[in-house]
Amino acid sequence: MTASSIPPFLSVIIPTLNESAHIDDVLQDLSHGDATEVIVADGGSRDTTIEQAAAHNVRICQGLAGRARQMNQGAALARGTILFFLHADSRLPAGFDRVIRRTLDAAHVAAGAFSLGIDADYGKMRMVAYWANLRSRYLGMPYGDQGLFLKAVRFHQCGGFPELPIMEDFAMMQRLRKTGRIVTVRERLYTSPRRWRRLGVLRTTLTNQAIIAGYLLGVPADRLSRWYRQSRRLDRPHSPCRTGDDA
């Protein structure tokens, strides 16, 4: 293989917090990528997430919880020229690495994401995914559960993820849209339906839209984060446990 035929090195960064139920599946998917390193950026898991990740021979970094902080920490360690930020409850399409490289080869592309699929076969979930993909394609505003990818140099030039307690992916896309196109590819990345199942499709959707509206109206991110966590606790008033959604 000549130097010109070696694909650009791809660093995959996965923020985790108590993701033992999902981490093995996503790491197995990632094992099929070429010229790829995987960094699990853990925020203090109390389950077996770290031990399971270590069994896959990936790089692991540990620090304080907070998804933006964890992703930035992973990015600081990454050796790749391309960064791919991925949630732990994702399932990847075949050839994901080739799709990422091909997308970022195009001129004026600032970042990309996959189309959203939700790993549940019923109508309400398909409708959620349909509207999410319309928003992502036509407004250039994909969210983190679609898998966000961009060149490392662009990530560092824009200062990384704003270390907000919520809406870090939305804020990052707002920055990147000023520098080029945000592309949503047709290939689907499937995410767990756990948060929709926990609160219900309608309540989850309304909560998400209220958080976005509050952010755009200038409500401080700390306050939005408290609102979001309170909305979730209403459904689980007696459970003190944090889940992977908190990462």
> Per-residue confidence of the chain (247 residues) as pLDDT tens digits?
455 567 889 999 999 999 999 999 999 999 999 989 999 999 999 999 999 999 999 999 999 999 999 999 999 999 999 999 999 999 999 999 999 999 999 989 999 999 999 988 778 888 889 999 999 999 999 999 999 999 999 999 999 999 999 999 999 999 999 999 999 999 999 999 888 888 788 888 888 889 999 999 999 999 999 998 887 765 554 333 333 444 3
Residue-wise DSSP of 57-73: T-EEEE--S-HHHHHHH
Question: Does a structural domain hold residue 115?
Answer: yes
Residue 129 CA: distances (Å) to CA of 136, 162, 190, 231: 10, 26, 10, 22
- 201 domain residue, yes or no: no
CATH number for the domain harbouring residue 29 = 3.90.550.10
pLDDT at 51: 98
Name the token pair of 64. 């304080």
Region of residue 207 (phi > 0: left; psi between -120 and 50: alpha; otherwise: beta): alpha
Q: Find the domain containing 26 and state its range.
A: 7-194
Give a yes or no: residue 152 inside a domain: yes
Q: Cα–Cα–Cα angle for 194, 199, 203, nearest 5°?
A: 125
Question: Which H, E and C letters describe 177-200, residue by residue?
Answer: HCCCEEEEEEEEEEECCHHHHHHC
Q: List pLDDT tens digits, range 101-114.
A: 999 999 899 999 99
In a domain, 232, yes or no: no
Look at residue 71 and tell me if it is in a domain: yes
pLDDT at residue 229, as a whole number: 85
User: Measuring CA to CA, how many Å separate 12 from each of 3, 9, 95, 116, 146?
Assistant: 22, 10, 14, 18, 13
Classify residue 237: in a domain, yes or no.
no
How far lies 221's CA from each of 162, 164, 166, 168, 175, in Å? 11, 6, 6, 9, 16
Query: Does 103 reside within a domain?
Result: yes
Number of domains in the chain: 1
Amino acid at 127: M
Kindly report the pTM of this predicted structure: 0.90
**Residue 116: closest CA among 80, 83, 95, 89:** 89
Count of helix runs (H) and strand runs (E) in the chain: 10, 8
pLDDT digits (tens, 9 = 90+) for 213-246: 999 999 999 999 999 888 776 555 433 333 344 4
